[in-house]
Chains A and B, each alone.
Chain A
Amino acid sequence: MAESQIIVQLKDIRKTYITGDLQVPVLKGINAQVERGEFVGFIGTSGSGKSTLLNILGMLDVPTSGEYLLEDVDVSRLSDVEQATIRNRKIGFIFQSFNLFPALTVEQNIEVPMLYARVPGRVRTKRALELAKRVGLGHRLGHKPTQLSGGECQRIAIARALSNSPAFILADEPTGNLDEKTSNEIMELFHELNREQNVTIVMVTHNPALGPHYDKIIRLRDGRIDDRLFEWEIARQQQLQQQQEAAQ
């Protein structure tokens, strides 16, 4: 059976929060899909339903209605234990504030998801070294997170996210706590991983400036997908058209 090229498929995802008598619809029917090897950005201002969608994508929350297919399996209504297992094996989380464990060394931090997957110790150590090298920090395995810079911490977090070879990386504002230079380095690392290892990346951000990095942009506004293009997108399309015309 040929493996599907569609990794994530959202079909009319709705989420309504109920507080007392008040119903607050946050997501009002989201349809989207992410293909293997794509670098997708979900961009939305605060209040657009971005965080809720992130939680649903990360299987930390379930939609009120709609279907979430992860590698063709509907994962929107699974038990707690199954959800945790899928989070562990299929999703690589990256957080805005890195969320490394201060008590653990870099190596142990990278090993955490493998620990929950019950990977044997020797395999874990080998893979941790491999991943640390891939993000350029092979020499810092024995250090504690407090001894690292912000950019290094995020690199370790990326290595950790990759440790179980997930179906996709789910990054939540990964550059939100970093300065511009480090931000660019981290984004470059994402591109490398995407290009060279064909890692599928889903990034959720409020920052439209990151837009040009993505293969595909899904804009969220008020709980819905907004089809209007950003100005730079129009500019880029015009540029492409001009290039094509020139080539002809």
Chain B
Amino acid sequence: MMLIRDLVGLSFRNLLLHKLRSLLTSLGVIFGVGSVIAMLAISEGAKHSALAQIEAMGIDKVIVFSRRPPIDGKSESSSENASVMERFGLTEQDRQHISRMDNVERITALFDTRNKILKGLQRMDLKLVGCDRAFLNETAAEIEDGRWFSKIDFDSNAQVCVIGMNVKRKLFTLGDTNVIGSNLRIGDHVFRIIGILDNPYATQLPEVGGQNDMILIPMTTGKILFKDYTFLREGRQFKITRVEYDIFLVKVNDTFFIDNTSKRISGYLEKTHEATKDWGMIVPLELLRQRERTQNIFTIVMGSIAGISLVVGGIGIMNIMLASVYERRKEIGTRRALGAQKSDILLQFLIETVFLTTSGGITGILVGVLIGKIITNYSGMETIYSWWSIILALAISCIVGVIFGTYPAYQAAQQNPINVLRSE
């Protein structure tokens, strides 16, 4: 142990003796480790933001949604003035049935009123949506200002609304301080704004859209004011659409039962909705798993590509160390004459190489972090430095030193001191 400590000090001094050469020698490892760190940080960041999106949907949920069934082509050929009645999607009966299933803790429903929302004469890409009171707790959204619906709002069918961040941005001017308490007029109805909601992940719900683009009203109010019917005029044609519910957020009491429950729900819906494919289902947990798999593959591929430069760096170091052994034959011979064992010489050169690669590795980690920061600054891509990637980089640079230092060190130990001392 004592000798090892002395040898580490010795190799440090030897490397300081040739500062520029040491720097150039370890440059390969510096950039190799740097690119490994940066690559891992970038793919970890990409993974994290992708997974956060999915996780914000709720991994303990199954999302069931209504959708317009594919058109057969027959109904399209109706006469110009005829009104078309469309009825599809999830029903109260579905809700009752699903909520009675095993392991289903709660269903939170959303109902899109399919109203046009105008600012002046301009149609806005916003939705007026009725929701259950539990909706806030079932999403990653938070109340930014004001309050959420009270039980009284629901019981009294109050004409109040909570608007998403984007709604505020689109309907009000920037400095407007009186948003809460002001009235919002939609069609023939007026709603008082009681709160502003912000979903930092801007979670998208199928068919309905982003949570920050919603004007939420109590489900009870929505059902009374708008019934289940929507009248839409398209040219001369009237279209009546009837959808009872647009979204069910089905909360399962344990993620362990997600697969089972989602199968049961789809089995049930397939049976009751017969041939019409007027519903869809998203299982965030499954999306998460898939995404995780592809992201992990991505990480491995990126890391391996960066790892190649590390091998190149290692070969460079081996080359220089071999030259260094030749150059330092006199030193080796002298040490042998003074009583160094072959193993002492081997250890000295090995430690020197490992020292070189490891200090290169540490510099490389700093370089990698710097590269990541620059990328984040200029492209906005998220980068994450995990502890394991830093430990991995250190371990790899150490191992590179051992692998590519062993042969030169062996060569050094095999030098014949006689030739060496005579060669002067």
A94-130 interface (Cβ within 8 A of B): 95-97, 99, 101-104, 112-113, 115-118, 120-121
CA distance A58 to B14 in the complex (A): 27
B342–A93 CB distance below 8 A:
no
The answer to whether B421 has its CB under 8 Å from any CB of chain A is: yes
Q: Which residues of B8-37 have CB atoms within 8 Å of chain A's CB atoms?
A: 10, 13-14, 16-17
- Which of B330, B341, B424 is in CB contact (< 8 Å) with A81? B341
Q: Are the CB atoms of B337 and A58 closer together than 8 Å? A: yes
Contact with A along B410-424 (1 / 0, CB 8 A): 000000011001101
* B338 contacts A93, C-beta separation under 8 Å: yes
Contact A99 B17 (CB under 8 A): no
Say which residue of B331, B339, B422 sits within 8 Å of A101 (CB atoms).
Answer: B331
Q: Is B6 an interface residue (CB 8 A)?
A: yes
What is the bound-complex CA distance between A103 and B3, given in angstroms? 17
How many whole Å from A240's CB to the nearest CB in chain B? 38
Looking at the complex, which one of A61, A95, A120 makes contact with B418 (CB distance below 8 Å)? A61
Given A101-B331, A103-B10; A116-B340 close (CB under 8 Å): yes
Are A116 and B337 in contact, CB atoms less than 8 angstroms apart?
no
Among A84, A95, A102, which residue has the most Cβ atoms of chain B within 10 A? A84
Would you list which residues of chain B between 346 and 374 have a CB under 8 Å from chain A? none
Question: Taking the nearest CB of chain A, how far is it from the CB of B400, in angstroms?
Answer: 24
Q: Chain B interface residue count: which class?
A: 20 to 34
Given known contacts A84-B342, A104-B10, is B337 in contact with A93 (CB within 8 Å)? yes
Q: Is B192 interfacial (CB 8 A cutoff)? A: no
* Cβ–Cβ contact A99 & B334, under 8 A: yes
A51–B342 alpha-carbon span in the complex (Å): 23
Most buried by A among B13, B331, B337, B418: B337
Task: With both chains docked as a complex, state the minimum distance between the C-beta of B160 and any C-beta of chain A, in angstroms.
Answer: 80
Tell whether B95 is near chain A: CB-to-CB under 8 Å: no
| B242 adjacent to chain A (CB < 8 Å) | no
How far does the Cβ of B25 sit from chain A's closest Cβ, in whole Å?
16
Smallest Cβ-Cβ distance to A113: which chain B residue:
B338
Q: State whether A103 and B17 are in contact (beta carbons under 8 Å apart), knowing that A118-B3, A120-B2 are contacts in the complex.
A: yes
A4 to B62: give the CA distance in the assembly, Å.
95
User: Does A60 lie within 8 Å of B13, measured CB to CB?
Assistant: no
Pick from B10, B338, B421: contact of A160, CB under 8 Å: B338
Residues A135-173 near B (CB distance < 8 A):
160, 164
Partner of A80, one of B334, B342, B418: B342
- Cα distance A60–B336 when bound, in Å? 9
Q: Tell yes or no: A55 within 8 A of B by CB.
A: yes
Taking CB atoms, residues of chain A closer than 8 Å to B335 are: 112, 116
Number of interface residues of A (CB under 8 A): 31
B421 touches A84 (CB 8 A): no
Cβ < 8 Å to A, chain B residues 29-71 = none
B278: Cβ under 8 A from any A Cβ: no
Q: Does B198 contact A (CB under 8 A)?
A: no
A120 to B424, CA, bound (A): 33
Name the residue on A nearest B416 (C-beta): A60
B327 smallest CB distance to A (angstroms): 12
Are A51 and B10 CB-contacts (below 8 A) given A93-B337, A93-B338? Answer: no
Asked if residues A88 and B338 are in contact (CB atoms below 8 Å), the reply is: yes
Contact check, B6 vs A115: say whether CB atoms are below 8 A apart.
Answer: yes
Selected contact of A60 from candidates B3, B331, B421, CB within 8 Å:
B421
Contacts of A242 in B (CB 8 A): none
Contacts of B331 in A (CB 8 A): 99, 101
B94 interface contact, C-beta 8 A: no
> Does residue A219 face the partner (Cβ distance < 8 Å to B)?
no
Contact A116 B341 (CB under 8 A): yes
Q: Is the CB of B337 within 8 A of A60?
A: yes
Known: A99-B330, A103-B14, A116-B339. 9 other contacts (CB 8 A): A51-B422, A60-B336, A80-B341, A89-B339, A103-B17, A113-B339, A115-B6, A116-B340, A116-B341
Q: Could you pull out 23 A-B pairs where Cβ atoms are within 8 angstroms?
A: A55-B418, A58-B337, A60-B337, A60-B417, A80-B341, A84-B336, A84-B341, A85-B339, A87-B336, A87-B337, A87-B338, A89-B339, A93-B334, A95-B334, A101-B331, A103-B16, A103-B17, A104-B10, A104-B13, A112-B335, A112-B338, A120-B2, A160-B338
**Which chain A residues have a beta carbon within 8 Å of chain B's beta carbons?**
51, 55, 58, 60-61, 80-81, 84-85, 87-89, 93, 95-97, 99, 101-104, 112-113, 115-118, 120-121, 160, 164
4 cross-chain pairs, A with B, having the tightest CB-CB distances, nearest first: A88-B339, A99-B334, A103-B13, A116-B339
